[in-house]
Structure 1
Amino acid sequence: MSGMAMASLSPAAAGGATGLVMFHAKGEDLMVHVKASGFAPGSMHGFHVHDKGNCASPDFSSAGGHFNPGAHPHGPQDAARHAGDMPNLQADAQGKVDQKFVLKGAKLQGETGLVGRAVIVHADADDFKTQPTGNSGARMACGVIAAH
């Protein structure tokens, strides 16, 4: 079984970001590293794992809703949350993201694993309150998570 997975981000038809999302198994958690560009300088973006590994539709609606096998409410990392809820991405002054964080209790493989699902970067920041999406706006980039 692989201890790593990756997703290559493609921009939405209306424009968006490109880059890579890397997942490394670390004990009971996953280390996530996002390297992406094409953002407005200083902007913040909601970032989630979505249920279906399908980025085929122009607006990425084909990826479905947030990955939520435990039927939890949408929320921040330190509360009950969807398995696919991740921290906001923060772009630097050049519109680039190079961000690492730990996704607690996440797995790569199996029924509750992330491999085969999609990562979505949203146009707006996640407020971590609004159900079920965090009010993070349109989907601006999508990538299917594949074992590596």
Structure 2
Amino acid sequence: MKKLAIMFMACSLIIGVSCKQNKESKKEEITDKKEVTVDKKEEIKKVKVSMDSKSNSNVSGNIVFEAKDGTVTMTAVFDGLEPGPHAIHLHEKADCSAPDAKSANGHWNPTHSKHGEWGSKEGYHKGDIGNFTADENGNGTITFSTDEWCIDCGDDLKDVVGRSVIVHQGTDDFTSQPSGDAGKRVSCGAIAL
């Protein structure tokens, strides 16, 4: 009887250790799977910008910058514009304090390139977005995407944080230096976290 009890305890002990090891192995597998999922999770960054009227205009709007898969997409919606085309640029400083928005300085141009149309072989500023059109009610939208920008990445050649968005009264001619002769700054918004 003692032998039977000892054998039973030994078997229970072996089975218990085996089950425990098996559970630990499964736990490790599950943990590994979670880590892989976390590593594959996509990081999406967003910055919202509120646009204020400048130069005695009534222009306002909202912009969202979203970084995903190495590309930043800017989606902007405006109202209070004069019907027709308007230039939009990123400027050096996130400072819209001046009534004419000149506190934002010039176009954001960290590569010291000539002003021009985005993607031009002759050169363009990192802030040279281009033109968009306001409808007869003064409403306008623009969506712009590039892998030449980032959000809060710390790269001075790509990071849009610390810049401002400026909407101009007129159009960018893409040739006049240094800013495309786009006229007054009618709206400004700081890109800040």
**Following TM superposition, by how much is the alpha carbon of 1:104 offset from its aligned partner in structure 2, in angstroms?**
4.2
Q: Which runs of 4+ in 1 moved over 4 A?
A: none
Kindly indicate which of the two structures has a greater share of residues assigned to helix. 2
> Structure 1 pair 29/121, CA: closer, same or farther in 2 (3 Å)?
same
Amino acid at match of 1:105: E
1:77 aligns with 2:123: no
Q: What is the aligned length? A: 146
Q: Which structure carries more relative contact order (alpha carbon 8 Å, separation 6+)?
A: 1
Measure, in 2, the Cα distance between the counterparts of 1:9 and 1:21: 8
> Which residues of 2 match residues 125-140 of structure 1 at below 5 A?
125-140=171-186
Measure, in 2, the Cα distance between the counterparts of 1:144 and 1:24: 15
Measure, in 2, the Cα distance between the counterparts of 1:16 and 1:76: 27
> Structure 1 pair 60/35, CA: closer, same or farther in 2 (3 Å)?
same
> Which residues of 2 match residues 33-48 of structure 1 at below 5 A?
33-41=75-83, 43-48=84-89
1:57 corresponds to: 98
- Of 134, 141, 153, 1:98 maps to 141
- Aligned-partner SS, 2:81: coil
**Following TM superposition, by how much is the alpha carbon of 1:13 offset from its aligned partner in structure 2, in angstroms?**
4.2
Kindly indicate which of the two structures has a greater share of residues assigned to strand. 1
* Percent of residue pairs bearing the same amino acid type: 34
Measure, in 2, the Cα distance between the counterparts of 1:53 and 1:137: 20
RMSD: 1.6
- Of 146, 168, 172, 1:122 maps to 168
Measure, in 1, the Cα distance between the counterparts of 2:112 and 2:62: 28
Measure, in 2, the Cα distance between the counterparts of 1:135 and 1:76: 13
Point out where structure 1 has 5 or more consecutive residues left out of the alignment: none
Q: Are 2:118 and 2:125, in contact at CA under 8 Å, matched by a contact in 1?
A: no
**1:75-115 Cα distance to aligned partner (Å, 9 max, x none):** 11221211111021211122101221213411122223111
